[in-house]
Structure 1
Amino acid sequence: MTLRTADISDASSIAAISIEVWVGTYLKRGVTAFFADYVLAEFTPTKTNALIRDPDQFIVVSENEDGIDGFVRVSSASLAAVDGLSKYEIATFYVQPRHHGKGIGKRLLAAALDHCRDQAAACVWLTTNAENDPAISFYLGQGFEHVGETHFAIKDEGYLNNIYAYRFD
């Protein structure tokens, strides 16, 4: 496994992993047109390409001998969801499910935290679906603390998300 900064040639792979992980994590009982339309509009190579080119985004991919198996994206342009949090948000953090348990998530998270530390951030924060127990356990086990709640919106629908922060000492 190799970690490296994402480049433009990674856009379609990152988009495909985003679709795979998002659908597999959040659509447990089937795929409706409502969610399919969201996923197919949101996770595109064009949008991913724009994120890779955006200087306010820091994206690291994990690559094995066959291709990319996970990535993390830190945004330095986020509006803090809770007062007192920094502008640094782990905006996306996906590892293909078949690669869970191999240390990829820990290494990607370490790269994201190192980046934020290098930027002199006081903390970094993220949100995750309040029902995503594996992610919640992972974040708590890595030193994040639950600091609030928000709602993830798709059109006029809202879904409860927890907010977690990692504070640098």
Structure 2
Amino acid sequence: MIRQATESDSIKISALATQVFLDTYATEGVSERIARYVVENFRPEDFENRFHTEGRETYLYELEGNLVGLMELHLAVPCPARPACRLEIETLYVSRHFHARGIGRDLLALALDRSRGPSGGKEGEKGTGAGLWLTVNHQNTAAIRFYDKLGFEKIGTDFFDLLGESHENHILWRAPPI
């Protein structure tokens, strides 16, 4: 089941985000830098604060009441490589225990629906009509393959600052469905 998150979900979001981040990026063990980043950025109160940010939506994918996936959207962040596109998937996390079950695909379908023009998205709201974008670490081959299968294309490069350490990210874009 996909539903929009509320502040009371922050503790579960914090735990899932920590799990997925460490599974994805601590492939050589937990370094001081990675540990500090997680402790400083994935606290429940960090996620609670996001609910008070205009133009931000968080969706949860739950199975039997347990959180297994989440997606955070920014509704008005211009893509660095395609500024007309202003719908960003900031985060798409699925617990590795639930990969290959269509959870990521279902969450992306919701985001793609939000990216439609005036007829798409939530009732009474307008989408950008310019598609959606995201960034992915250039070494995260599994995620890159996933997005490639779903029609995303690389349109640029960006860099993620991990406490003073720069990591290359691909900027990916996808046109809205017709």
Q: TM-score per shorter chain, which class? A: over 0.9
State how far apart, in whole Å, the 2-side matches of 1:75 and 1:112 are: 10
State how far apart, in whole Å, the 2-side matches of 1:69 and 1:165 are: 25
Q: How does 1:79-98 map to 2 (within 5 A)?
A: 79-98=78-97
Query: What's the CA shift for 1:79?
Result: 3.8
**Aligned with 2:51: secondary structure?**
helix
Please say if residues 152 and 173 of structure 2, whose CA atoms lie closer than 8 Å, have aligned partners that are also in contact.
Answer: yes
What corresponds to 2:156 in structure 1? 148
Structure 1 counterpart of 2:127, from 120, 132, 135: 120
Query: What's the CA shift for 1:34?
Result: 1.3
| One-letter amino acid of the structure 2 residue matched with residue 151 of structure 1 | F
**Aligned with 1:120: secondary structure?**
coil
**Root-mean-square deviation over aligned CA pairs:** 1.3
Question: In structure 2, do the counterparts of structure 1 residues 53 and 116 end up closer, same or farther at CA, with 3 Å as the change threshold?
Answer: farther
Q: How does 1:30-49 map to 2 (within 5 A)?
A: 30-49=29-48
Encode CA deviations 1:116-141: one digit per residue, 9 max, x unaligned: 22232112100000011110011011
**Aligned with 2:13: secondary structure?**
helix
Q: How does 1:11-30 map to 2 (within 5 A)?
A: 11-30=10-29
Identity of aligned residues (%): 32
State how far apart, in whole Å, the 2-side matches of 1:86 and 1:140 are: 18
| One-letter amino acid of the structure 1 residue matched with residue 152 of structure 2 | F
What corresponds to 1:102 in structure 2? 101
Please say if residues 60 and 111 of structure 1, whose CA atoms lie closer than 8 Å, have aligned partners that are also in contact.
Answer: no
Runs of 5+ consecutive residues of structure 1 not aligned to the other structure: none
- 4+ long deviations beyond 6 Å: none
Normalized per residue, which structure has more helix? 1
Please say if residues 86 and 125 of structure 1, whose CA atoms lie closer than 8 Å, have aligned partners that are also in contact.
Answer: yes
Runs of 5+ consecutive residues of structure 2 not aligned to the other structure: none
What corresponds to 2:71 in structure 1? 72
Superposition TM-score, scaled by structure 2 size: 0.89
